Amino acid sequence: MRVVLGIVALLLTVAAQAQPPALPAPPPPVPPEYRALYDQIDKALRPLEKRLVRARGPLPIYAAELLPANGNRGYVLLDQHTLATTRIWLDRFAQLGIRGVVFAVPYPLLLRSYPQSKLYVSFYRNVVAEARRRGMTVEIESAVVFANTPFSSVRWDYSNLTLERLTRERREMISTIIEQIAPDYLDLGAEPDTEARLTGLRELNDPARYADHIAALIKGIDRKKTKIGAGFGTWSNPEFARREAELPIDFIALHIYPVDAQAFANAAEGCRIAREKKKEILLDEAWLYKANPSEVTNIASNAKVFARDAFSFWAPLDQRFLRLISNFARAEKIKLVSPVWSTYFFSYIDYDTGVSQLPYADLVQLVNSTATRSVMNGRFSETGVAYHDLIAGRR
Residue 150 confidence (pLDDT)? 79
Cβ atoms of 68 and 36 within 8 Å: the answer is: no
**pLDDT for 156:** 92
pLDDT of residue 80: 87
Question: Which of the following CATH numbers is that of domain 32-391: 1.10.510.10, 3.40.50.1010, 3.20.20.120, 3.30.2270.10?
Answer: 3.20.20.120
248-265 core/surface letters (b: 16 or more CB in 10 A; e: else): ebbbbbbbbbbbbeebbe
Q: Phi and psi for 140 in degrees, rounded to 5?
A: -105, 135
pLDDT of residue 40: 96
In degrees and rounded to multiples of 5, residue 380 shows phi and psi of: -125, 150
Phi, psi angle pair for 178, to nearest 5°: -70, -45
Cα distances (angstroms) measured from residue 170 to each of 126, 173, 241, 304, 364:
22, 5, 20, 31, 30
Predicted local confidence at residue 41, as pLDDT: 97
Q: What is the pLDDT of residue 19?
A: 53
Do the Cβ atoms of 161 and 197 come closer than 8 Å? no
Does residue 144 sit in helix, strand or coil? Answer: strand
- pLDDT mean for each 10 residues of the chain (395 residues): 42 43 71 96 97 87 97 94 96 98 98 97 98 98 91 90 98 98 98 96 98 97 97 97 98 96 97 98 97 78 88 97 97 97 96 89 91 94 96 82
Residue type, 241: A
User: What is the separation of C-alpha 264 from the centre of its chain, rounded to a whole number of angstroms?
Assistant: 17
pLDDT of amino acid 53:
84
Q: Domain map of the chain by residue range?
A: 32-391
Hey, is 219 helix, strand or coil? coil
| pTM reported for the whole predicted model | 0.92
For residue 379, the model assigns a pLDDT of 96
Residues contacting residue 367 through CB under 8 Å, at least 6 positions apart: 5, 310, 343, 347, 348, 349
What is each CA distance from 334 to 192, 236, 392, in whole angstroms? 21, 19, 18
DSSP string for 73-92: GGGGGGSTTHHHHHHHHHHH
